């Protein structure tokens, strides 16, 4: 498996500092369910908890996916990933916007150098964000980080975001 699923655990110490612990796992995707992956995450969390002074305060399961065969095989010449179209969506529960960032946007989705939210591919994307994806079962509804359905596009704008190439330092301890 080239891209294993990652179980991540956020650990906090008595000083309030946080760090992460990750474990890569492989499994049969035809027989495993979301619930069984969560149960395994909890199991390994219990084993990690017994080995640390800190407290596990959360975590996540990241499942890498391969691109669909119909998507482009290579990037097209055009905008770089630091050139970003940002859209803010409303929900009907509170006043906080949920940001959606579209890096390396196509110039063809702009009109007079501003996002053209009323036609074409961008409108199709926004409609699916607001209404869910009814062509795919079960229907998934994009939400805010507080799990409220997004119901309207508030605004859209273009920006440039810094992209960093981060490197991890590794220290090897002999076994």
Residue 167 covered by a domain: no
Q: Which residues partner with 11 through β-bridges?
A: 19, 56
Per-residue pLDDT tens over the stretch 18-59:
999 999 888 877 788 888 999 999 999 999 999 999 999 999
Q: Are residues 94 and 27 in the same domain?
A: no
- Which one is predicted more confidently, 160 or 163? 160
- Dist CA 72 CA 68 (whole Å): 9
What pLDDT is stored for residue 31 in this prediction? 80
User: Which residue reads 């110490």 in tokens?
Assistant: 13
What is the domain range of residue 30? 5-62
Please check whether residue 151 lies inside any domain of the structure: yes
Place of tokens 């391969």: 66
Q: Is position 165 within any domain?
A: no
pTM for this structure?
Answer: 0.73
Q: Is the pLDDT at 119 greater than 90, yes or no?
A: no
Contact 152, 127 (CB under 8 A): no
State the pLDDT at residue 1.
Answer: 41
Contact 147, 91 (CB under 8 A): no
Q: Whole-number mean pLDDT of the chain?
A: 87
- On whether residue 130 sits in a domain, the answer given is yes
Counting the structural domains of the chain, the total is: 2
């Amino acid at each position: 498996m080239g891209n294993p699923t990652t179980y991540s655990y956020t650990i906090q110490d008595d000083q309030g500092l946080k760090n992460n612990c990750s474990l890569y796992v492989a499994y049969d995707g035809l027989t495993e369910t979301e619930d069984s992956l969560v149960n395994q995450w909890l199991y390994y969390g219990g084993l990690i908890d017994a080995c640390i002074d800190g407290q596990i305060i959360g975590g996540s399961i990241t499942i890498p996916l391969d691109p669909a065969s119909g998507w482009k095989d290579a990037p097209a010449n055009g905008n770089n990933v630091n050139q970003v179209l940002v859209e803010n969506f409303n929900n009907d529960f509170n006043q906080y916007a949920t940001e959606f960032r579209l890096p390396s946007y196509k110039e063809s989705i702009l009109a007079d150098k501003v996002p053209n939210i009323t036609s074409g591919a961008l409108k199709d994307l926004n409609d699916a964000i607001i209404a869910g994806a009814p062509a795919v079962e079960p229907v998934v509804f994009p939400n805010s980080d507080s799990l409220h359905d997004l119901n309207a596009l508030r605004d859209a704008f273009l920006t440039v975001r810094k992209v960093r190439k981060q490197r991890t330092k590794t220290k090897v301890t002999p076994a």
